[in-house]
Amino acid sequence: MTKNLRVKSSEYIDETNRISFKFNGKTYHGFKGDSLASALLANNVHLIGRSFKYHRPRGIMTSGSEEPNAIVQINSGTNRTEPNVRATEVEIYEGLEASSQNCWPSVEFDIGGINNFLSPFLPAGFYYKTFMWPASFWEKYEFFIRHSAGLGKSPTSSDPDIYDHRNVHCDVLVVGAGISGILAAKNAAKNNFKTLLVDEKNELGGSTIYENNEFNKIDNKNPSEWLKKEIEELKGIKNLEIKTRTSVAAYHQYNYLLARENLTDHLEVKDKKNKIRQRLLKIRAKKVILATGALERPLIFNNNDRPGIMLSSAVKKYSEFYGVACGSKNVFFTNNDSAYESALSLYNKGINVKAIIDIRDQSESKIVKKVKEAGIKIYWSHSIVDTTGYKRLKSVSIMKLSNDGTSVTGSKISISCNCLGVAGGWTPAVHLYTQSGSKLSFDEENKVFLPNQNTSEQISVGSCGGDFKIDKIIKNLNQKLKDALNIKQTDLDNIKVEVDQENSKKNIWLLPSDKPLGKTKPFVDYQNDATAKDIKLALREGFRSIEHVKRYTTTGMGTDQGKLGNMHALGIIAETAGIKMGELGTTTFRPPYTPLTFGTIVGRNVGKFFDIFRRTPMNDWHDENKAEFENVGQWKRAWYYPINDETMHQAVQRESKAARESAGILDASTLGKIDIQGTDASEFLNRVYTNAWSKLAIGKCRYGLMLNEDGMVYDDGVTTRLGENHYIMTTTTGGAANVLGKLEDYLQTEWPELDVYLTSVTDHYATASLCGPNSKKILKKIIPNLDLSDENFPHMSFKEAHIGNIQCRIMRISFTGEHSYEINVQASYGKDLWKKCMEAGKEFNITPYGTETMHLLRAEKGFIIVGQDTDGTMTPIDLQMDWIVSKKKYDFIGKRSLYRSDTMREDRKQLVGLLTDDPDIVLEEGAQIVSELNQNPVEMLGHITSSYFSPNLKKSIALAVVRGGKNMMGKKLFVPMENKNINVTVANPVFYDEKNERLNA
């Protein structure tokens, strides 16, 4: 057998540029322009991988993205390795390494191949049926399944490549640059539509570019010659952008499409560096022209999966485009004229074509006559009943088909061959079309699903629209373009087309064999090893919906989504179940059309850009002082400041004591701040908070609780009246954006009559909260001229002041129960303010504290944190905060819900304090609370919401929600844990300074 199967010089292959690459460790040579598949075929390598279930040897079937078998691992063992790559789509480059998948220890000798001999015991649904019982064995099964399953290996280190996203807007998007796509794009662009033409291949022209049927002519030229001239003309057209190596992955509604542009995969490793590897194009097109072509169908016969059995169209492309003969002894098997073109292609290059097996009775087309003249043997009304050859096709056996096509008769003829081209007709590539939500209809005559009802401005042209012959393609394309683009004339008006008119075909979904179906292996889905037998079994077992049959047999569930065999699966189901195919419908084609890398999907959103976070103006100081950080919403907040080797517990205990004994300082910049102005600002606050606001004096602050309409606590915070019609509201850190959204909603939709303006100013101010008995002295040092007496600046009031030249807003408010000031300055001065406080506080041992200490201090005071002590099911009454709910106000958001029968139940979960009998035991937040230990099942009364060891009280404290807790003061309850039951007593949630004396200390 010849080693090199190059048959002619192709203009797409640069034979001066020799490239070496490795496949399964062995070095081969190809040329610039080769795909991995064409280069391997030129080296007479057909065995590429093993099938998923039976580990049967498999070869290259196709020449495009629909390839089910020839999937390989690229650059194994490197951080650029990629599994499940179709060898038909990889452009070779110097140093490329590819290897087989799904086999061990090697593709030549694969242990899993034993499954092939076990196959009678591995019918459809085998895994579902077998690994169900007994349930306790699942872990054992899982181990084996995980080891024998899986396609390829993912990389184990991080991806060195850069990926990108880009938004693209165009008037016309043309998908597919075959003859239809090129003509559509040209005419759209020439008529001033901003046009984008994309194609998944690296060369334009689709299959017409290597068309060889001498009976087809456009303007008296061979269509490929004619098309090359058209492609040449594209270059000068403005308004037209062309992207090759770009495959559309998804077509969503409203003409929103996602495409992957491949930029460096065809380059040598040294040239890939620092370049964008793949780019996700997010395309919004006013009009979409689908010119996605058609996929050739295989034929379904016994042992139709051996290496060397390929699509007839692929044999032709390898011969004409890549200049490679797929075999030295070739046979074709067909139900239409396509195979004759492929046969002639080989014959014209001096390659042996032994026979054409045609299931039709005859064909009178010119091309068939030409084949007859060439002396190639044609077996009419014959079918292949079996094939031989384990790792490479050796022979086919044929028999005469009965008239009705359901059986075979006569004697068996064996034909030795090493390549079989199969031609089962054409399936329009309607995948993207249906993804857009558009509907198909079934064309009974041609046995194809065709575009029928469009949901957006789109047309399907060429063979994806059901036109297979060049005359029809051009005539219908012309009319569709005129209608879709609303233009009167096109380049296509005066084109003369001649075609070979014969178009007969005979469709048999499952070809008969001399053996019964149970003894044969007619594969429908090659990648997942689903045979016609499996489909029939599913139907016998009662499956009727095609979606169910698909999942049960795994037909169409591989990485290729069954692009080749889906139609046959549908045909076999329809025939067996006695349903018309049009009524059966199709399975859903889901995005992506071909697999996308994770890199393309995430683009630049990796590392620190994966989830954007916000830092306060004081952040650098926290960093320099070794703060640990905590995520709060998108903010990074200082959590605690460990000194030396302190644990978190030690740091928090120290910070908490210091804040109460002398002075502490907290970065409160992250609290949401909303500036509220307008003549109805007071009325607005009356409606959104539970308490009354009209009488709040200018310069005073008030705590407010905000509910949802269902009466449940939504947010809280202090709002300050800055002027007659001017307030500043603070919200929780995490709730800021939602609160603003909710307030805007009410203003715009329910109360448009109110004169109120809301502005988020969270980022405009930096806030330092000074707290503790010495906070007043520290503030005095910073702002000597401000009168800090309780008379002039009492608790819950506001002053405007200056630190040097810098204006600041100071609120005397407290979340810790200590004498405290919140100092707000313009954000850019935040760090200076903080440093000034630290400097002034030095003599008082001022201690920076983080969110954890803040939580502990407020828990000592029994102050709630919305979202920690509440969970969207707590009313203010449940929180024992009746005092903040105005009885006088006629209405506020959520008021009516507080009087619903359900919210008034006495046995709702209510907030209480809990003390452990052993003061050293700290309860776990989230732990359950019960009143009886010997009940079965035990009734859960509630759970712990906040729990700390209080250094100031020297005991453990907790807040909890307990069913009916309000009336349980002093009651003994239990917190059952894994190893012990903890005894607790219900207590007042205010553990520290119940009389609030420290606020004025």
Interface residues with other proteins (CB under 8 A) are: 252-256, 284, 437, 455, 709-710, 741, 744-745, 748-750, 752, 890-891, 895-897, 899-901
Q: Smaller CB distance to other proteins: residue 197 or 893?
A: 893
For residue 749, the minimal CB distance to other proteins (Å) is: 5
Dihedral over Cα of 900, 901, 902, 903: its sign: positive
Q: Which residue has the tokens 């007619």?
A: 522
Q: Smaller CB distance to other proteins: residue 493 or 611?
A: 611
Angle at which helices 566-577 and 532-540 cross, to 10°: 40
The answer to whether the beta carbons of residues 895 and 698 sit under 8 Å apart is: no
For residue 750, the minimal CB distance to other proteins (Å) is: 5
Looking at this protein, which amino acid is placed at residue 459? I
Contacts of 851 (CB under 8 A, 6+ apart): 630, 632, 637, 638, 639, 640
Q: Smaller CB distance to other proteins: residue 842 or 905?
A: 905
For residue 759, the minimal CB distance to other proteins (Å) is: 11
The answer to whether the beta carbons of residues 851 and 637 sit under 8 Å apart is: yes
Q: Smaller CB distance to other proteins: residue 748 or 789?
A: 748
For residue 452, the minimal CB distance to other proteins (Å) is: 14
Query: SS3 for 967?
Result: helix
Strand 439-443, strand 309-311: pairing: unpaired
What whole-number distance in Å separates Cα of residue 661 and Cα of residue 647?
Answer: 21
For residue 172, the minimal CB distance to other proteins (Å) is: 16
* Tokens at 258, concatenated: 């996602």
For residue 893, the minimal CB distance to other proteins (Å) is: 9
For residue 35, the minimal CB distance to other proteins (Å) is: 33
For residue 745, the minimal CB distance to other proteins (Å) is: 6
* Tokens at 874, concatenated: 């707590």
Query: SS3 for 656?
Result: helix
Contacts of 207 (CB under 8 A, 6+ apart): 178, 293, 313, 317
Q: Smaller CB distance to other proteins: residue 578 or 752?
A: 752
Q: Smaller CB distance to other proteins: residue 142 or 709?
A: 709
For residue 817, the minimal CB distance to other proteins (Å) is: 36
Contacts of 514 (CB under 8 A, 6+ apart): 385, 386, 399, 408, 412
Answer whether the bond into residue 592 is a cis peptide, omega within 30°. yes
Q: Smaller CB distance to other proteins: residue 76 or 903?
A: 903
Q: Smaller CB distance to other proteins: residue 483 or 902?
A: 902
For residue 166, the minimal CB distance to other proteins (Å) is: 14
Contacts of 803 (CB under 8 A, 6+ apart): 782, 783, 825, 833, 836
Answer whether the bond into residue 937 is a cis peptide, omega within 30°. yes
For residue 740, the minimal CB distance to other proteins (Å) is: 9
Q: Smaller CB distance to other proteins: residue 241 or 744?
A: 744
* Tokens at 110, concatenated: 């694969």
Q: Smaller CB distance to other proteins: residue 455 or 647?
A: 455
Q: Smaller CB distance to other proteins: residue 745 or 790?
A: 745
What whole-number distance in Å separates Cα of residue 733 and Cα of residue 295?
Answer: 56
For residue 709, the minimal CB distance to other proteins (Å) is: 6
What whole-number distance in Å separates Cα of residue 205 and Cα of residue 133?
Answer: 55
**CA 767, 637, 634: angle at the middle one, nearest 5?**
105
What whole-number distance in Å separates Cα of residue 370 and Cα of residue 352?
Answer: 16
Q: Smaller CB distance to other proteins: residue 161 or 715?
A: 715
In which element (H, E) is residue 334 found? strand 329-334
Strand 71-74, strand 82-86: pairing: antiparallel
For residue 728, the minimal CB distance to other proteins (Å) is: 20
Q: What is the DSSP string of 102-114?
A: S-SB-SSSBGGGH
Q: Smaller CB distance to other proteins: residue 254 or 610?
A: 254
For residue 253, the minimal CB distance to other proteins (Å) is: 6
What whole-number distance in Å separates Cα of residue 694 and Cα of residue 681?
Answer: 9
Q: Smaller CB distance to other proteins: residue 258 or 422?
A: 258
For residue 751, the minimal CB distance to other proteins (Å) is: 9
Q: Smaller CB distance to other proteins: residue 377 or 900?
A: 900
Q: Which residues pair with 799 in a beta bridge?
A: 810
For residue 896, the minimal CB distance to other proteins (Å) is: 4
Q: Smaller CB distance to other proteins: residue 252 or 726?
A: 252
What distance lies between CA 350 and its chain's CA centroid? 49
Phi-psi bin for 447: left (phi > 0), alpha (psi -120 to 50), beta? left
Q: Smaller CB distance to other proteins: residue 220 or 749?
A: 749
Phi, psi at residue 461, to the nearest 5°?
A: -120, 160
Contacts of 423 (CB under 8 A, 6+ apart): 296, 299, 311, 312, 313, 332, 333, 334, 335, 336, 338, 339, 342
**CA 58, 27, 2: angle at the middle one, nearest 5?**
65
DSSP strands (E only) in 150-239: 162-175, 195-198, 217-218
What whole-number distance in Å separates Cα of residue 182 and Cα of residue 490?
Answer: 13
Q: Smaller CB distance to other proteins: residue 883 or 899?
A: 899
For residue 611, the minimal CB distance to other proteins (Å) is: 16
For residue 998, the minimal CB distance to other proteins (Å) is: 40
What whole-number distance in Å separates Cα of residue 601 and Cα of residue 278?
Answer: 10
What whole-number distance in Å separates Cα of residue 594 and Cα of residue 259?
Answer: 10
